[in-house]
Amino acid sequence: MSTRSSPFTDLLKQPGRRAVVLDGGLATELEHQGQDLSQGDLWSARLLAENPEAVQQVHRAYYAAGADVATTCSYQASHQGFAQAGYAQDAADELMRRSVQLADAARCSMHDHTSNSRRRLVAFSCGTYGAVSADGTEYDGNFADKVTVEQLMDFHMRRLEAVAHETAIDLVAFETIPCAKELEAIARLARTQALPAPAWVSVSCKDDSHTCHGEDFAASCLPLLIDCDAIVAVGFNCTAPRHIVPLLHNARCALEQHRAQSRKLLLAYPNSGEGYVSSQQGWDGMPDLTAEQYGSAARQWVAAGARLIGGCCRTTPDHIRGVAANVIDHF
C-alpha cells in the first residue's frame, strides 16, 4: 500500500496544509477532567466500562482543538489486563469495540464549519506489550528478554481480532513500541495477517538515535518495517521533543537509502519531555516546551520530514491547537 492510497492522502492534498494533526495525551486530559486513573492496572481503559462519556468528551476536545485523528482509549486494553481486572473475554472484546465506537461518536457529533472540508479519522490504539504489566517496562522494553516474537504477535492479533468488524476504524496505531523484538512481531503480523485498516508504527526513544531498549532505530529497526505495505507511516511517540528532529533526520536518510521515502510517511507525537519514574508511578522533571513552544516546534518537525504530528503523554488540547495553527494555514 503506497501513501497514495493511505487515509491521509486527501488531507495532505489540501492547500496550505503541511501535516495531518494527531490528537494528544488522552490520559492526561482525563486526569485534567478529574478522573482518577491510579485505581488498578487498566489505567485509562478502565473508563471504557466505568465512564465512557468522559472518554468521548476528550475525543471531542481534541477534534475541536484541530486534531484530524482521534486515537482510541485502548492503549492499555488487552485480554490479559481485562482478565486480571475480572472481565471475561467477551466483555473485554466488547470494551475494545466500545473504544472505537466512542471515538466514532465523537467524530459524528462534530458539526462545525470545517466538517465539509476535513475528513476526521479514527485510529485504533494498539499499545506496546509492556503496558499490560503496568510496571514501567513499556518505557524501557525490558520485557523483550522474557517473551518470544510469536507471543508478541499473538498479543497484538487478539486485540485486532476483537475489532475486526468495526468499520469506523480508519487506522491501526501500534504505538510506544520500545524494542526491536516487538517491531519484528508487528512487521511479521502485518505481512501475514489482514489488518482491520492501514497501520502506523510509532517507537519510543531515549535519545537522538536509540529506542528505549537501546537499539539503533534507523539501522536496526526501520529496516524491519520498510517492506510492509500495510504500514503506511513510521516514527516516534512518547519521546522527549528535544530528540525528535535528529530522530526524524536519521529516519529520513535511512528511508532514502532504501528508496522507500515515497512509500512511508514519517510521524512524530512526542510527550512533554518529562520522564516517567516507574518506582513512583509518576512523572518527574520539567517539560521541554510550553504548549505555545510545542506548537511552534511542529514547524521544525515538518521541516525534518514529519507529515503526521500530534502529542503523547502530558500534552493537552492546547498543545494540539498550537500544532494545528502551525501546520495548517488559516486554521
The annotated binding site for Zn(2+) is made up of 238, 312-313
Cα–Cα–Cα angle for 185, 84, 43, rounded to 5 degrees: 75
Query: Is there a contact between 327 and 14 (Cβ–Cβ < 8 Å)?
Result: no
DSSP 8-state symbol, 33: T
The Cβ of residue 173 has, within 10 Å, a number of other Cβ atoms equal to 27
Closest CA to 55 of 75, 38, 41, 85: 75
Asked if residue 74 lies in contact with residue 45, where contact means CB atoms within 8 angstroms, the answer is yes
> How many helices (H) and strands (E) are present in the chain, helices listed first?
13, 10
The answer to whether the beta carbons of residues 102 and 73 sit under 8 Å apart is yes
What is the DSSP secondary-structure string of 169-231? Answer: --EEEEEEE-SHHHHHHHHHHHHHS--SS-EEEEE-BSSSSBBTTS-BIIIIIHHHHTT-TTE
Q: Does an H or E element contain 237, and which?
A: strand 231-237
Calculate the CA 186 to chain-centre distance. 14
The secondary structure of residue 238, as a DSSP letter, is S
| Nine-digit cell string for 177 | 513500541
Q: What angle do CA 267, 63, 324 make, to 5 degrees?
A: 50
Phi first, then psi: give them for residue 223, nearest 5 degrees: -60, -25
| Residue stretches of the annotated binding site | 238, 312-313
Are the C-beta atoms of residues 123 and 170 closer than 8 Å to each other? yes
Characterise 310 by phi-psi region: left (phi > 0), alpha (psi -120 to 50), beta (else): beta
Instruction: Cell 492522502: give the residue.
Output: 9
